[in-house]
C-alpha cells in the first residue's frame, strides 16, 4: 500500500532564547516574545524590569483571565521570582 501524504506538515523556527538579548525584545508587540523575556540574557539587576515588561505585555495583549493566570505562572517561574522580589516589585512606567 502506498504511503499517504501527510495531513499536516509543520515548519518551525527555533532559537536559543538564552543567547538573545532582553533589551532587543523588551518592546516587542509579540506576546510570545514578551512572555519569554525572562529566558533571555539580562543583568541580574534588571530582573524586576524584565518581569515588568513581561507582565505589562501580558495585561495589554491578553484579555482572557484564564490565560493570564497560566502565563503569569510561566513568567514568574522563569523569572525565578521570590518573596523578596514580590515585596520590592513596583510597576514601572510602560517605557521603563
Phi, psi of 21 (to 5 degrees): -90, 125
Quote the CA–CA distance of 38 and 67 in Å, as a whole number.
18
Q: Which residues have a Cβ under 8 Å from the Cβ of 52 and sit 6 or more positions away?
A: 89, 91, 92, 96
| Res 35 pLDDT > 80 | yes
Cα distance between residue 55 and residue 58, in whole Å? 5
What are 36-94's pLDDT values in tens digits? 999 999 999 999 999 999 999 999 999 999 999 999 999 999 999 998 888 888 665 55
Amino acid at each position: 500500500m502506498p504511503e499517504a501524504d501527510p495531513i499536516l506538515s509543520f515548519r518551525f523556527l527555533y532559537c536559543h532564547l538564552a543567547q538573545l538579548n532582553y533589551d532587543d525584545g523588551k518592546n516587542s508587540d509579540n506576546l510570545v516574545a514578551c512572555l519569554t523575556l525572562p529566558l533571555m540574557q539580562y543583568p541580574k539587576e534588571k530582573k524586576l524590569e524584565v518581569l515588568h515588561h513581561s507582565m505589562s505585555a501580558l495585561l495589554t495583549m491578553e484579555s482572557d483571565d484564564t490565560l493570564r493566570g497560566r502565563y503569569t505562572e510561566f513568567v514568574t517561574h522563569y523569572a525565578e521570582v521570590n518573596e523578596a522580589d514580590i515585596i520590592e516589585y513596583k510597576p514601572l512606567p510602560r517605557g521603563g
